[in-house]
Amino acid sequence: MKYDFWINQGLFQLSWPACVVGASAGVAGWTGTSVVAAMALWQLHPRRRHPSDWRMIFLCLGIGFLLDSLWVQAGLLAYAMPWPSTQFAPFWILLLWLAMALVLNHSMSVFKGRLLLIGILGGIGSPMSYFAGSRFGAVEWLAPAWQVVLATGLSWALLLPALFWLADRPGRRHDGKTSDQSLSRSATS
């Protein structure tokens, strides 16, 4: 349904200010959690859930924890509201990764066939997002700007296409059809 797209994308767009602005105000624990929980409850309902949603959630949370913890460990970034530890990616960043996982197969699935485009957009958009977060006070750039831009831009330029590619993998067969298509055909035969 068309409204499923808009609810998914709307909650995704709300997740960034709820987490980032919430972190700068010290309230991301409830603002970010509220928005992303609503998104998860909505999107993971059996009627709307994609077969690979859970796999992408665990994958995004793992990658997000490692990548954003790497920025902290490398001395590139420091996060406001660094709960549970100043040495690792904070909880509110992981909420953003969860929100990302919930759009891969839904409102942003159009990028599954446009991996180069999403790589370019990720390479440009991620440093801008970290910069905007720094302007709100949720992230502090500890290294020279060119290092932060290069590290975040390059990592996201590679990571986003990989995530969209992986989101498209479950159920694929060698003949190009999905297992779901084959099951529905055999059920109607």
Q: How many domains does the chain have?
A: 1
Tell me, yes or no, whether 184 lies in a domain.
no
Q: Which residue has the tokens 């997002």?
A: 129
For the entire predicted model, the pTM comes to: 0.86
The range of the structural domain enclosing residue 50 comes to 2-169
Cα–Cα distance measured from residue 3 to residue 108, given in angstroms and rounded to the nearest whole number: 14
Tell me, yes or no, whether 131 lies in a domain.
yes
Strands 77-79 and 139-141, bridge-based pairing: antiparallel
What pLDDT, in 10s, does the model give residues 24-58? 998 888 999 999 999 999 999 999 999 999 999 99
What pLDDT, in 10s, does the model give residues 52-101? 999 999 999 999 999 999 999 999 999 999 888 899 999 999 999 999 99
Q: Where are the alpha helices (DSSP H) in the chain?
A: 2-16, 22-25, 28-43, 53-73, 91-101, 115-136, 145-167, 179-188
Let me know: does 84 contact 91? Beta carbons within 8 Å: yes
Tell me, yes or no, whether 174 lies in a domain.
no
Exposed, middle or buried by CB within 10 Å (0-12, 13-18, 19+), for 143?
middle
Tell me, yes or no, whether 152 lies in a domain.
yes
Tell me, yes or no, whether 183 lies in a domain.
no
